[in-house]
Structure 1
Amino acid sequence: MKKVLQPLAWYLVLTTVLALASGVALSFATDVALAASGDHQHGANAHLPLPPPGQKWATDQPLREGMAHIRTAVEQALPTTQTPIGVTQASELALTIEAEVASMISHCALPEQADATLHGLFGELLQGSEALQANGDPEQAMLRVVTTLNRYPHLFDDPAWQTLAMPTQH
């Protein structure tokens, strides 16, 4: 009887450990997916709280650096009448946007209302990123990303920020 119960007990222990590990892994994967999708406490289409009239939300170094990295990548990828954005370049830009947004989310330490506004912008950037990876019109996706980036300095105090020119349409 002992020869039957001992392997059965080990089987139950191992399956329990496997189930717990799977649950932890699923929980981690869900958290990462939510961070990458911009749904960290705030939806992309949620109402963006505005700063008090005549003021902007304060920024911190991780936010300014992350947004600057996205801005630089977008600026380098902007299409012109001579060189439209290619599929590979659009995909690389989308990955850069997603990585920078995930990094900014992990370092987010803004007050609640500023955080809500920021995560709304993150949602819009990630929607633009998704559009860049789709087989649609990458120039329209770029327009969406540039429009969002140009909203950022109206909401957040980033003295080094420079507005981007809108992509040229063919």
Structure 2
Amino acid sequence: MNISSRIILLGLLALPLPGVSFAQHAHHAAPGDAVPAPAPTTRWPADAALQDGMHRIHVALEELRHYEMGHMDATMALDRVGLIEQAAADIFAKCKLPEDRDAVLHHMLVPLLAAAQALKANPDDMAQVQAMRDAVADYPRYFDDPGWAAPAKP
């Protein structure tokens, strides 16, 4: 991770989000760090709060496809980014997973939020939309959530 990415991450961790203290989660990994645990042989159950937050993130990311295709303006796209940030904040606030699962989830949410902040800073940087998708792409490998397609068997 380069210096500017670390500065962005530190800024993200300092951002106040409703009902969330990122200081509570500062011990988790930064974007670019290795995933803390291999994918489990049996995916972990996702409780209702996690399913709700990740569903909201999934929907907003799907809607951002319209932005990438030029069918949505920047104002609407940034509204979707706000929805993603709020969903992540809700997940952080209700985070009640065992430590290994919590760490895996945070390894997804921290880079998701970094990409969201980068898109807010430069709405023309479409690569950040894909970076958000990439950040949560492994979610169905780890968590059993009916709202997300299970990964294909190798």
**Fold shared by both chains (TM-score > 0.5):** yes
Q: Distance in 2 between matches of 1:31 and 1:144?
A: 20
Is structure 2 residue 69 aligned with structure 1 residue 74? no
- Decide which structure has greater helix share: 1
Determine if contact 2:46/2:144 at 8 Å carries over to the other structure.
yes
Q: Distance in 1 between matches of 2:117 and 2:68?
A: 23
- Corresponding residue for 2:28? 42
- The C-alpha deviation readout for 1:70-90, integer Å capped at 9, x for no partner, is 111121221377525532123
Counterparts of 1:93-112 in structure 2, within 5 Å, are 93-112=80-99
Q: Tell me the CA shift for residue 60 of structure 1.
A: 0.9
Change (3 A) 1:71 1:111: same
Partner secondary structure for residue 122 of structure 2: coil
Name the larger-Rg structure: 1
Please tell me the root mean square deviation across aligned C-alpha atoms, in Å.
2.8
- Corresponding residue for 1:129? 116
Structure 1: runs of 5+ lacking an equivalent: 1-29, 164-170
Determine if contact 2:67/2:77 at 8 Å carries over to the other structure.
no
Q: Tell me the CA shift for residue 56 of structure 1.
A: 2.3
Determine if contact 1:62/1:104 at 8 Å carries over to the other structure.
yes
Q: Tell me the CA shift for residue 52 of structure 1.
A: 5.6
Percent of aligned positions with the same letter in both sequences?
30
Q: How high is the TM-score relative to the length of structure 1?
A: 0.66
- Residue type at the aligned position of 2:137: N
Q: Distance in 1 between matches of 2:36 and 2:148?
A: 21
Q: Distance in 2 between matches of 1:149 and 1:84?
A: 24
Aligned residue pairs, count = 134
Q: Distance in 1 between matches of 2:106 and 2:24?
A: 6
Change (3 A) 1:143 1:82: closer
Counterparts of 1:55-74 in structure 2, within 5 Å, are 55-74=42-61
Structure 2: runs of 5+ lacking an equivalent: 1-13
Is structure 2 residue 143 aligned with structure 1 residue 156? yes
- The C-alpha deviation readout for 1:24-79, integer Å capped at 9, x for no partner, is xxxxxx69467469944313334322256523233111001100011111212213
Q: Tell me the CA shift for residue 143 of structure 1.
A: 0.6
Q: Tell me the CA shift for residue 154 of structure 1.
A: 1.2
